[in-house]
Amino acid sequence: MFVLRQCLTLGTKSSIRNFSATTNLVNLTINEDTGVAIMELNKPPVNSLNYELLEAMHRTLVKLENEKCPGMILTSSSRSTFSAGLDLLEMYKPTVDKARRFWSMLQNTWIKLYSTPYPTVAAINGHSPAGGCLLAMSCEHRIMVPDKMIGLNETQLGIVAPQWFQDCMRNIIGERQAEKALIAGRMFTSEEALKIGLVDELATDKEDLMQKAHDFLDEQMGLPPLARSVVKVGFRKDTLSKLINGREADIKMFLDNVFQPKVQESLENYIQMLKKK
């Protein structure tokens, strides 16, 4: 195995191979024999999804697609958290330009991740609320360590999970379970998530998690890749097209909501609460 460290400040293919001391928000490891990529989110302490992390993810996904990646594992370098979801500071008192840029990058990243032709598996080694749950749901297969929490908890924060977040959940756990979970903003334990099908497997620890993720990819990589990807994208095309054809309306929805005084008040209280913990 060798490690390619993807650095935000580096753009060219050759320079990506050089380690740089600059913060690496995404660590990319590619197995020389199998080509399998491990994309590890690395924004301590909890991988909150700010513009820079989303951009680093997007850039990595473009690179993997260009280099005909055969399969990818999405995981996190944090011991407690897969991803804490969207960075609350991106939504708290932003300028219009900053909010628009942020949301647009979230859309870009999700569209790339949800539509990869190659198989993807989320190795969920920690809590995965809201936007973190979206990332996991955008992969094809989810494996989670025990005793962590996952779900779309937006309602509990006084905000609304966008339609495409909701669609992703509905596509996985079905209409009735998704409606109940989304209205309540419910977070599930790993064990509950397995029961309702929000995750596919539980692992005993990180080693078991990665082994199971590799096993899933091995199985997928044994299938004819073109047929596999056509079926995958066929299943996902309605959800994808809804956002792709409605990106501007979705940005407007976000901007209209994020600047509501009530929403700003909820975000402020929530940020304070997290800081006091």
Ligand X SMILES: CCCCCC/C=C\CC(=O)SCCNC(=O)CCNC(=O)[C@H](O)C(C)(C)COP(=O)(O)OP(=O)(O)OC[C@H]1O[C@@H](n2cnc3c(N)ncnc32)[C@H](O)[C@@H]1OP(=O)(O)O
Residue 125 in contact with residue 159, Cβ under 8 Å? Answer: no
CB closer to ligand X, 7 vs 91: 91
CB closer to ligand X, 86 vs 202: 86
Residue 133 in contact with residue 152, Cβ under 8 Å? Answer: yes
Q: Indicate the angle between helix axes 96-114 and 225-244, nearest 10 degrees.
A: 150
Whole-number Å distance between alpha carbons of 31 and 228: 22
Query: Which region holds residue 151: left if phi is over 0, alpha if psi is between -120 and 50, else beta?
Result: left
Is 131 one of the annotated active-site residues of the chain?
yes
Smallest gap from Cβ 180 to ligand X, in A, equals: 19
Smallest gap from Cβ 138 to ligand X, in A, equals: 13
Q: Please report, as ranges, the residues that interact with ligand X according to CB under 6 A.
A: 45-46, 48, 80-81, 84-89, 91, 127, 129-131, 153-154, 157, 159-162, 254, 257-258, 263, 274-275, 277
Residue 69 in contact with residue 43, Cβ under 8 Å? Answer: no
Smallest gap from Cβ 250 to ligand X, in A, equals: 10
CA nearest to 232, candidates 242, 243, 220, 222: 220
Smallest gap from Cβ 217 to ligand X, in A, equals: 27
From 40, 55, 90, 154, the catalytic residue? 154
CA nearest to 219, candidates 200, 199, 241: 200
Smallest gap from Cβ 164 to ligand X, in A, equals: 10
Is 153 one of the annotated active-site residues of the chain?
yes
From 131, 132, 151, 185, the catalytic residue? 131
CB closer to ligand X, 81 vs 220: 81
CB closer to ligand X, 227 vs 273: 273
Residue 146 in contact with residue 124, Cβ under 8 Å? Answer: no
CB closer to ligand X, 46 vs 173: 46
Strand, helix or coil at 86? strand
CA 260 to centroid of chain Cα atoms: 26
From 53, 54, 86, 243, the catalytic residue? 86
Strand, helix or coil at 5? strand
Q: Which residue has the tokens 């209409």?
A: 175
Q: Which residue has the tokens 């197995």?
A: 31
Report the residue number whose CB is nearest to ligand X: 85
Q: Which residues are catalytic?
A: 86, 131, 153-154
